[in-house]
Structure 1
Amino acid sequence: MQPAENTRAWLLTYRDGVEPSLRSGGHTYDDVLSSHYSYDSNVKNCEKIRPGDIVVLWDTSNALGASVVSSVTSGPGKKRMRYCPNCGSPRNIRRRSEKGPFICELNRGCGHRTMHPRYDWTDLTVYSADYEEAFLPLSLNIPKEQVHAACDNDNKRLSIRGLSWQRFSNLLQDAPSAAVKRTLDLHAHRFTKSIDFAYPQEPPGGFSSVMARARIGQASFRAKLISQFGSVCAFTGPSPLATLEAAHLYSYAAVGLHHEHGGILLRRDLHSLFDQGLIRVSSAHAIELDQTLLDYPQYALLDGKSLEFKPNRAMQKWFETHRTQHSEQGWSTQISWS
């Protein structure tokens, strides 16, 4: 799928690990690379990010990941701002080194230098752009100049910069990056369609409020598995990233933790069957099917097939536990595995 000319995209500066005193406001955010990006009304373009937009996160040197925004929330907040003691400006007073003086660079300066800027709290709006569902890690060695050239403006200091998705897509030439691009295009396309779609006649419907438990760290867990295994389903082989889910080899509902070596990538239908115990992995690393699946040719072909990788000892133990628990329950009895 070619990126649409009107695809909206943003380059977001992710500053995890940067000493707060080097930032213009001396303020930290609760950004999580694989799930959400936080910012406030002092940041240019703060009101422009919206659901369906593609975001690329980078640390001013490397592209770290990309995703499609699923929601944007906002609310009142406070921020401790740093002010120039000479002209009173709260913007662009920063230090260029960890121990150097703060310099007021408003409109190229009042130029005042000080080791003791003034601090005060100010009311503002805080935003959080959530993109956990579609997040994909990137490991790109793209020259900074090319990244800047793909942006819509020349202001390199902006934390949120408009990005030409078409120009940036042209930088994604290697196979893994091209797969990421296709997946993001698909997510953005589907999201836009879901917004634009309207029924000729609205059917009865609506929503009810429910309490649900969200899995913390699920996107990071999936990203780690993609980095480890690539775009490969453990049962069937290479598959589009959009079809692959992070499957735990144990009951996450019971444990609530993402154990190292405790997951594989599976196609969505196979993930469901694995969770129900209808598919298991033998001690010989071969796929075993419940008898009820053998009537379906697409699944019957998997029976006895070896995994796409050789599991390490930790994974072998998880597979053994999975076999044992489901054997005790019986092949066709569903238990809460996820």
Structure 2
Amino acid sequence: MFVATVWFVLAVGSERQHGSNDGYDDDLAAHYRWDSTVPQHANLAVGDVIALWDKRKLLGISVIERIDTDHAVKTTYFHGSCGKADFKPLKTGELKWWCNKCRTRFAQPEPRTRDVVTYCLHHGRAWQSLSGRLTGDQVRRLCDKPRSQHSMRPARWEKVQAALEVAGARLPAMVTAKAKFVIRGGHRQTTVEVRQGQDAFRRQLLTEQGENCAFSGPTPAAALEAAHLYSFAESGEHHEFGGLMMRRDLHRLFDLGHIAVHPDTGLLDVGKEVRDYPLYGQLHGKTIHIPLQPQHRVWLGAHWDQHRARP
């Protein structure tokens, strides 16, 4: 088994001092925004652990459940004399800005525009508030490059987990750690494409969930399949708490979106296309048979957003 990267992302809100752009509309417990001008902008992925901080302290931790991308025109600002964007506002005097490059005051920054890719990640379902559990200095020391000035900084999960446990944040540390464990898998090329790690993934789910279909209840093991709650073909990884045991026919209907699970209530939603069949219609509105972990809800929420939460 191995553990992926944790991302410390900076969320300073209205207290930001750097005036070179207009900032981002963030909601700490729900979503985080950035664009293609930010270093590391394309490296975050669904399923990654993120930890938000504001330079002075850790704010909270979660798991990325979805990343939306778009395009926009962004306005940035610079000091007209030197062309640099390294400046901050001052509290007194007629010249209200200070350029760190020129070491001079100036009246007003000048604007310029550019086309950017925008990103908005959603992380509300697994959000754990940890305000003040770690200081800003502790966060910096945990980053792979402690002296980095970037707003997105990678770190090793085992170091972050240990620091959170020392700080007394045991439950959030356990929850987010399990979101990152994977069984080594992927595809190897033979005459056909074969999934590696699938047998181990199925054994793990049988051990955790027993001979039970998550949707219909007790079922012989021979009729059960290990169903991924996300696209294994895209990730090539078997995430812990990223699967449920399902009867073969229900697995197929789940993959097609004909059956979904509400991530908050755990109730089954059987689509109209198959609800008239008594075998499946009787499942509509029933509670899932497996106790859901926070990571299950993240993956089921992404599936729900894809197949149910359409405009």
Task: State the TM-score, normalized to the length of structure 1.
Answer: 0.52
CA distance in 2, matches of 1:111, 1:214: 53
Residue 116 of structure 1 aligns to a residue whose secondary structure is coil
CA distance in 2, matches of 1:174, 1:88: 46
Counterparts of 1:308-323 in structure 2, within 5 Å, are none
Residue 173 of structure 2 aligns to a residue whose secondary structure is helix
- Could you tell me how far 1:188 is from its partner in structure 2? 2.7
CA distance in 1, matches of 2:149, 2:110: 22
Determine whether 1:164 maps to 2:156. yes
Q: Is the 8 A contact 2:13 2:24 kept in 1?
A: no
- Check 1:27–1:214 CA distance in 2 against 1; reply closer, same or farther (3 A cut): farther
- Check 1:162–1:98 CA distance in 2 against 1; reply closer, same or farther (3 A cut): farther
In the other structure, the counterpart of 2:56 is: 61
> What amino acid is the match of 1:81?
T
Residue 171 of structure 1 aligns to a residue whose secondary structure is helix
When Rg is computed on C-alpha atoms for both structures, the one with the higher figure is: 1
Q: Is the 8 A contact 1:60 1:144 kept in 2?
A: yes
Of 46, 50, 60 in structure 2, the residue corresponding to residue 51 of structure 1 is 46
Determine whether 1:11 maps to 2:11. no
Q: Is the 8 A contact 1:40 1:127 kept in 2?
A: yes
In the other structure, the counterpart of 1:95 is: 88
- Check 1:113–1:6 CA distance in 2 against 1; reply closer, same or farther (3 A cut): farther
Determine whether 1:187 maps to 2:195. no
In the other structure, the counterpart of 1:294 is: none
Q: Is the 8 A contact 1:5 1:166 kept in 2?
A: no
Q: Is the 8 A contact 1:52 1:70 kept in 2?
A: yes
- Could you tell me how far 1:24 is from its partner in structure 2? 3.5
In the other structure, the counterpart of 1:40 is: 35
- Could you tell me how far 1:134 is from its partner in structure 2? 1.0
Counterparts of 1:169-248 in structure 2, within 5 Å, are 169-173=161-165, 177-189=169-181, 194=228, 195=232, 196-197=237-238, 204=252, 206-207=255-256, 242=294
> What amino acid is the match of 2:160?
F
Give unmatched runs, 5+ long, in structure 1.
216-238, 246-338
Q: Is the 8 A contact 1:39 1:128 kept in 2?
A: yes
What does the per-residue CA deviation read over 1:58-98, in whole Å, with 9 as the maximum and x for residues that have no partner?
Answer: 11112111001112121101222101202323x32x21544
> What amino acid is the match of 2:173?
K
CA distance in 2, matches of 1:181, 1:191: 20
Q: How many residues align?
A: 210
> What amino acid is the match of 1:51?
V
- Determine what percentage of the aligned residue pairs are the same residue: 19
CA distance in 2, matches of 1:11, 1:146: 12
- Check 1:197–1:62 CA distance in 2 against 1; reply closer, same or farther (3 A cut): closer
Task: State the TM-score, normalized to the length of structure 2.
Answer: 0.56
Residue 147 of structure 1 aligns to a residue whose secondary structure is helix
What does the per-residue CA deviation read over 1:195-221, in whole Å, with 9 as the maximum and x for residues that have no partner?
Answer: 4249xx9x85553599x9999xxxxxx
Residue 163 of structure 2 aligns to a residue whose secondary structure is coil
What does the per-residue CA deviation read over 1:259-289, in whole Å, with 9 as the maximum and x for residues that have no partner?
Answer: xxxxxxxxxxxxxxxxxxxxxxxxxxxxxxx
Determine whether 1:118 maps to 2:113. no
CA distance in 1, matches of 2:162, 2:72: 39
Give unmatched runs, 5+ long, in structure 2.
185-200, 202-227, 240-247, 265-290, 298-311
- Check 1:179–1:27 CA distance in 2 against 1; reply closer, same or farther (3 A cut): same
In the other structure, the counterpart of 1:306 is: none
- Check 1:57–1:175 CA distance in 2 against 1; reply closer, same or farther (3 A cut): closer
CA-atom RMSD in angstroms? 4.0
What does the per-residue CA deviation read over 1:163-212, in whole Å, with 9 as the maximum and x for residues that have no partner?
Answer: 222212221135850111001112233799854249xx9x85553599x9
> What amino acid is the match of 2:74?
K
> What amino acid is the match of 1:28?
G
Higher strand share: 2
- Check 1:242–1:52 CA distance in 2 against 1; reply closer, same or farther (3 A cut): closer
CA distance in 2, matches of 1:9, 1:56: 7
Determine whether 1:78 maps to 2:77. no
> What amino acid is the match of 2:27?
V
